[in-house]
Amino acid sequence: MQKLSIRDLPLKDKRIFLRVDFNVPLSEEGRVTDDTRIRETLPTLEYALRNRAKLIVASHLGRPKGKPNPRMSLKPVAERLRMLLDNVLESDCNVGFSPDCVGLEAEELATRLESGQTLLLENLRFHPEEEANDEAFARALAKLADYYVNDAFGSAHRAHASTAGITKFVEKSAAGFLMQKELDHMGQLLLDPARPFVAIIGGAKVSDKIGVIKNLMNRVDALLIGGAMAYTFQKAQSREVGKSLVEDDKIDLASDLLHEANERGVRIMLPADDVVAMKIENDVPTKIIDAEQPIPAGFMGLDIGPKTVRLYSDEIANACTIVWNGPMGVFETPQFATGTRKIAQAIAHNEDATSIVGGGDSVAAVHQAGVADKITHISTGGGASLEFLEGKKLPGVEALTNR
């Protein structure tokens, strides 16, 4: 990796500002209902604490729009963090909480921290200056610590005060273990993937995935398209697609992409058949329509059909590198979830391949199918992983100190 790792920092007795993604769901009563995101960053916290750092931990939670909002307080997270750390470190851990992430009280609490102790700061986004990447605010955050570590890959595509601005005011900025894992896996994909390299791209809109399709087109051996975006491509090929979701203003673009792929000898595969229905509801009558045929008026394509599942699964079975982003159909409705589930299973089944799944829906599908443990890497950042696959530089990564 080109960037410093937490392993490169002298941690003992130093105050470390650790940016994490503790954007966890809270119940009405303010209990953490899913602590996956906290657990994911425990290796970084454990390493820093075992090396006697003084940890100042900061995160955003929800969208408080720049104003304090007790329902989006990180206070309940401090309690859960303490329980998790007690477990990991097998001792009573001291996790303090600062009711503001900047200012005198935060500074005092940070100064009083002893080596091996943790201070969690209140929600960064209670201040509008966080998302505005305000320089004075970034400086106020930096004032709390000696060094900076970023373990919030999911926020790395945003240039905010706590992900980018702060790095100008500390001596060194490094990646935490979760960030490093993401960059290693995703970087490998783009730099030196084992071949054949197959990408499966789905979801609602072509417009959201243009960048990814364009960038991956130069790198993959086959690009398998599913989800509603397939209908924009098929309409570009003059297929009647009934009421299917189509972005009419992207038909020319879809046509250009297909043309470009053809010229370059890149295989873009579109569904060979579809599951269609008149409504997005369970228990409505469905039909399988071959892609050679028009989708009847009044019907919409809501999932890839069995022939497509077979064809795509064969491609996946022969791949050595697989990346997947976006569902193959309206997987939230069980009636139209089969294609997405089968693709998750096909990826899991190829245990010899390096498989990377990113994006909230595909990650949810992998969990629903019960195959998460068979995937090489499940990316924690939806937007960030998409931008990475587009080949964009992530501000939160760029800002870290070069080796």
Single out the catalytic residue among 19, 37, 158, 250: 37
Binding positions for ligand AMP, 347-376, rule CB under 6 A: 359, 361
Provide, rounded to whole angstroms, the least separation between the CB of residue 222 and ligand AMP.
20
Does residue 329 bind ligand AMP (CB under 6 A)?
Answer: yes
Pick the closer one to ligand AMP by CB: 137 or 331: 331
Q: What distance in Å separates the CA atoms of residue 98 and residue 123, rounded to the nearest whole number?
A: 10
Q: Is 360 a catalytic residue?
A: yes
3-state secondary structure 326-368: CCCCCCCCHHHCHHHHHHHHHHHHCCCCEEEEECHHHHHHHHH
Q: Are 401 and 8 in contact (CB under 8 A)?
A: no
Pick the closer one to ligand AMP by CB: 94 or 368: 368
Does residue 245 bind ligand AMP (CB under 6 A)?
Answer: yes
Q: Is 96 a catalytic residue?
A: no
Is residue 302 classed as helix, strand or coil in its secondary structure?
Answer: strand
Single out the catalytic residue among 360, 392, 393, 403: 360
Is residue 239 classed as helix, strand or coil in its secondary structure?
Answer: coil
Q: Determine which residue in the list 35, 134, 208, 221 makes contact with ligand AMP, applying CB under 6 A.
A: 208
Q: Is 205 a catalytic residue?
A: yes
Does residue 140 bind ligand AMP (CB under 6 A)?
Answer: no
Q: Is 383 a catalytic residue?
A: yes
| DSSP structure class, residue 169 | G
Single out the catalytic residue among 143, 205, 267, 307: 205
Pick the closer one to ligand AMP by CB: 337 or 353: 337
Q: Which residues are bridge partners to 197 per DSSP?
A: 321
Q: What distance in Å separates the CA atoms of residue 151 and residue 283, rounded to the nearest whole number?
A: 44
Residues in the interface with ligand AMP (CB under 6 A) total 16
Tell me the catalytic residues.
Answer: 37, 205, 360, 383
Applying CB under 6 A, which residues contact ligand AMP?
203-205, 208, 227-228, 245, 301-302, 326-327, 329-330, 332, 359, 361
